[in-house]
Amino acid sequence: MANLTQSTASRLARRIGDRGPVREFLMFSLTGELYGVELTRIKEILSPPPITVVPRAPREVIGVCSVRGLLVTVLDLRRRLSLEERPLTRRARILLGAAESGEVIGLLVDEVRHVVRLAAGEIEAAASALGGDVAEFVMGIGRPSGEFLILLDLQAIVSG
Partner 1 sequence: MAELSDKAREEFFSEAQEIIETLSRNLLSLDASIKSGASDPSLINEAFRAVHTLKGLSGLFGAVRLGALSHRLEDVLDDLRLGRIEFGQDVLDVLFAAVEAYTRILQAEKANSDDELDVEGLFTELERIGAGAAEHQSPVAEYELDPGLLAVLTEYEEHRLRANIDLQMQLYRLRVQFDLSTIDKALEEIKERAKRHGEIITYLPTGEATSADTIELDLLMASRDDLATLVGSLGADNVVIEEIPRRARRSVGAGTMPPRHQTSIGRADSVALQRELDKGGLETTSSLRSLTQTVRVDIRKLDHLMNIVGELAIVRSAFGRMAEKLRGEGQRKLAAELLRMHRNFDRRLGEMQDGILEVRMVPLGQVFDRLARVVRQISREVGKEIRLVITGAETEIDKLIVEELSDPLMHMIRNAIDHGIELGQRRVEVGKPLAGTIALNAFQKGNHVMIEVEDDGRGIDLAGLTEKAISLGKLTRNEASELSRDEVLALIFLPGLSTRELVDDVSGRGVGMDVVKTNIGKLGGVIDVHSETGIGTKMTITLPITLAIVSALMIQAGKHTLAIPLSSVSEAIAFDEAAVRMVDGREVITLRGQTLPLCRLDRLLNLEAAPDSMSRRRFVVVAALGQRRLGLVVDFLYGQEDIVIKPLGKSLADVRGFAGATELGDQRVGLVLDAASLIEEVLAGVEAPRTLERRHG
Q: Which residues of this chain interact with partner 1, rule CB under 8 A?
A: 49-58, 61, 64-66, 69, 71-73, 75, 99, 101, 103-105
Amino acid at 124: E
Q: Which is nearer to partner 1, 75 or 149 (CB)?
A: 75
| Residues, the chain | 160
Q: CA nearest 158: which of 84, 95, 92, 82?
A: 95
Q: Which is nearer to partner 1, 60 or 122 (CB)?
A: 60
Beta carbon of residue 140, minimum distance to partner 1 (angstroms, whole number): 26
Distances from the Cα of 153 to the Cα of 20, 45, 129, angstroms: 19, 17, 14
Distance CA(28)–CA(159), nearest Å, equals: 20
Beta carbon of residue 84, minimum distance to partner 1 (angstroms, whole number): 23
Q: Are 34 and 147 in contact (CB under 8 A)?
A: yes
Beta carbon of residue 130, minimum distance to partner 1 (angstroms, whole number): 22
Residue 49 CB contacts under 8 Å (≥ 6 apart), including other chains = 65, 66, 67
Beta carbon of residue 57, minimum distance to partner 1 (angstroms, whole number): 5
Q: Which is nearer to partner 1, 56 or 90 (CB)?
A: 56
Beta carbon of residue 103, minimum distance to partner 1 (angstroms, whole number): 4
Q: Which is nearer to partner 1, 101 or 128 (CB)?
A: 101
Beta strands in 60-148 (DSSP E): 61-67, 70-76, 93-98, 104-109, 111-119, 138-142
Q: Which is nearer to partner 1, 69 or 87 (CB)?
A: 69
